[in-house]
Chain A
Amino acid sequence: MLLGSLVSGAVEAFVPRESITRWLPKNYAAAIAVSALMGLVLPMCECASVVVIRRLIRKGLPLSCAITYMMGAPIVSPVVALSTYVAFRGQNPLEMTLLRLVIGFLIAVGVGMAVRDIPAEKLLQPAMLDSLPGRRRTGLSMAVAGNDSTLDLGGEGLRGKLFRTVQSATSDFLDVTFFFVVGAAIASTFNTAVNQNLLIPLATNPALSVMAMMVLAFALALCSSTNAFIAVSFRMFPPSAKLAFLLFGPVFDTKLFFMYGAVFRRWFVLSLGIGLFIVIALICNHLGLILNI
């Protein structure tokens, strides 16, 4: 969270608005695909990516690309790939790692494409929208950031930019941490007060096992860089259910439900959660049948 806030603050202070989209391909599909792969060069866990995209959206990154990055970064990243491979040693690690990365990438691209034509007014919280007085379309149109209310004591010098970084980082940290604290409190209650063994009888039914592991991923709200180690410990569950755990948790869990609320409207957060649940459950069930995992 802190690292994400500092990156966000640095983006605000050091990255000119017009340069934020310069590196994006002009072709829409290619831009979405590049956004889904941004986690390979800017690896962020799911919490940090929420903080970062708020600033990137204000800096003019197209909303659909920002959402794609938010969905992709917690899965399509070298840290997650390595941790998944290590966790699944002795249990087809390469297969599980590749499946996680490729399906995570496809899901991120799919979400990006799905929100392409939805106006920003319907997606973003009013407070976020107020900071985007420019064009408020998604797709590749830019939402130009407005004036920031933080002080610029040092003019254009390095000292001033560092000062601005601190101010912006603090704003972002306080904005999102509020939701993080609420979500983490609920997740930790489940993690300690609810008997997780109650899910074990569902392990023998392929379809139910997939859904049970997704519910568990939502409730536990574990970091995407370490959740593979927990997935492995559920030995009774089939690999397809573990894959569902690894795909769903990083993009939608208890804390993210609240943190997304700092950026997006409630209907979109709910729709995103339900949509992701259905799509990932279907994919993992089918993979379980096709690949016999």
Chain B
Amino acid sequence: MTTLFNRWLPGVTLLAWSAVLLSFYISGRIASFLIPAFRVNVLLAGLVFLGMACCFLFLPAVANCCDEERCGHPLGRNKLGRIATFLILLLPVVTAALCSPKNFGATTILNKGIVTDAGGLVMRKTPQKLAQPAAPAIASNPAEPALPTKDGSQPAAQASPAATQTDADNYLPKSKEGNIQLQVLDLLYAAQDTSMRADFEGKTVEVIGQLMPAEADLAGANRFKLMRMFMWCCAADAKPIAALVEAPEKPTAPEMAWVKVVGKVTFPVEGGRTIPVLKAISVKQTEPPEETMLY
């Protein structure tokens, strides 16, 4: 019996953990749980677990776990308790690996709290605008009061909100139809950056995200939220982020469905702050992107 607890069960446990990690890495499911930079660690950990398991399964290695004198597990006082200990080590991990969904559900997303303001986010990678030479700064939102200059005078008149040709048009990625391809994150950052707003405002863009209903105070005019999960490190710290979409008619896609929205970017001031609102031309249900998370 000691051999079972000191050699075979530890070996099987290590093998199971190895199998879970390697299968997540090889199948690509790890993309829903970890940022790209850390994924190779999963491969390494899976291989290390495999090597350790081999030491137990093919060499007479022993671990002083769940033999009566040395084990610190609270259940390890009798044979059944010791078996239960290994079940707790094995079952949750294997069950989660087999049964956990690829995406968060709507309730979970609401519980985590949807972020609609880039001030609560930290940039992992440089937004599209900042990677390029600065475009002419155009404060393009007529509804937003201009900040006074240092001497207290009002700044010069602002440019027209109409779409303006900027350098950004030359480097922003475009779809086959010629629409600028943006992420929800770009819209949130643009709402806080005058020059980024100038790059996007009035342009026809396409954005992919999951459809979520807007809150009561933001609802009306067929508005909904276009949501993506933003991950700093792993799924545990992922936060839902969303921009508002104003559609010509109530969208037919169900809640949490992946949709591609083509529309014009606007930045109205609502509730005292500038927010991005995408005036949709079309809202079509689509396949999830290869990377469902934003980093």
Chain A interfacial positions (CB closer than 8 Å to B): 2, 6, 86-87, 89, 125, 127-128, 130-131, 148-151, 153, 163, 166-167, 169-171, 174-175, 177-178, 181-182, 185, 187-188, 191-197, 220-223, 225-227, 229-230, 232-235, 261-263
Contacts and interface: CB of A to CB of B under 8 A. Distances in A.
A175 B73 contact: yes
21 contacts: A127-B69, A148-B64, A149-B64, A166-B52, A170-B14, A170-B52, A170-B65, A174-B65, A193-B108, A195-B110, A195-B113, A196-B111, A196-B112, A223-B233, A225-B233, A226-B234, A229-B232, A230-B239, A233-B115, A233-B121, A235-B119
B146 to A, nearest CB: 22
A175 B65 contact: yes
A175 B104 contact: no
B111 A178 contact: no
A146 B237 CA distance: 41
A130 B69 CA distance: 8
B216 interface: no
Nearest to B49: A2
Contacts of B239: 230, 233
Nearest to A229: B232
Given A193-B111, A232-B120, A175 B233 contact: no
B233 A174 contact: no
Contact of B233 (A193, A229, A233): A229
A181 B108 CA distance: 21
B16 to A, nearest CB: 12
A197 to B, nearest CB: 5
Contacts, number: 128
B248 to A, nearest CB: 31
Interface in B231-260: 232-234, 236-237, 239
Contacts of A185: 92
A6 B48 CA distance: 10
B64 A171 contact: yes
B122 interface: yes
A149 B62 contact: yes
Contacts of B157: none
B186 interface: no
Interface stretch (B53-61, B163-171, B194-202, B279-287): B53-61
A174 B93 CA distance: 13
A182 B88 contact: yes
A181 B110 CA distance: 25
B274 to A, nearest CB: 15
Interface of B: 10, 13-14, 45, 48-49, 51-52, 55-56, 59-67, 69-74, 85, 88-89, 92-93, 104, 107-108, 110-113, 115, 117, 119-122, 232-234, 236-237, 239
A13 B121 CA distance: 44
A178 B232 contact: no
Contacts of A226: 232-234, 237
Contact of B62 (A2, A131, A150, A194): A150
Q: What 4 pairs across the A-B complex have the smallest Cβ distances? A: A127-B72, A226-B233, A229-B232, A170-B63
A151 B122 contact: no
Contact of B70 (A6, A127, A178, A220): A127
B48 A2 contact: yes
Nearest to B86: A174
B122 A174 contact: no
Given A125-B72, A197-B113, A230 B232 contact: yes
Given A125-B72, A170-B14, A192-B108, A230 B237 contact: yes
Contacts of A86: 122
Contact of A127 (B62, B71, B93, B104): B71
Contacts of B92: 181, 185
A182 B236 CA distance: 16
B81 to A, nearest CB: 12
Contact of B10 (A6, A174, A193, A235): A174
A178 B88 contact: yes
A190 B39 CA distance: 25
Most chain A CB within 10 A, of B49, B59, B74, is at B74
Contact of A167 (B61, B112, B122): B61
B117 A178 contact: no
A133 B63 CA distance: 20
B31 to A, nearest CB: 18
Given A150-B63, A151-B62, A196-B111, A174 B120 contact: no
A144 B106 CA distance: 54
Contacts of A197: 111, 113
Contacts of A181: 88-89, 92-93
A130 B70 contact: yes
Contact of B112 (A89, A175, A192, A232): A192
Contact of B237 (A178, A222, A261, A262): A222
B233 A178 contact: no
Nearest to B48: A2
A4 to B, nearest CB: 12
A193 B106 CA distance: 11
B104 A192 contact: yes
Contacts of B89: 174, 177-178, 181
B256 to A, nearest CB: 15
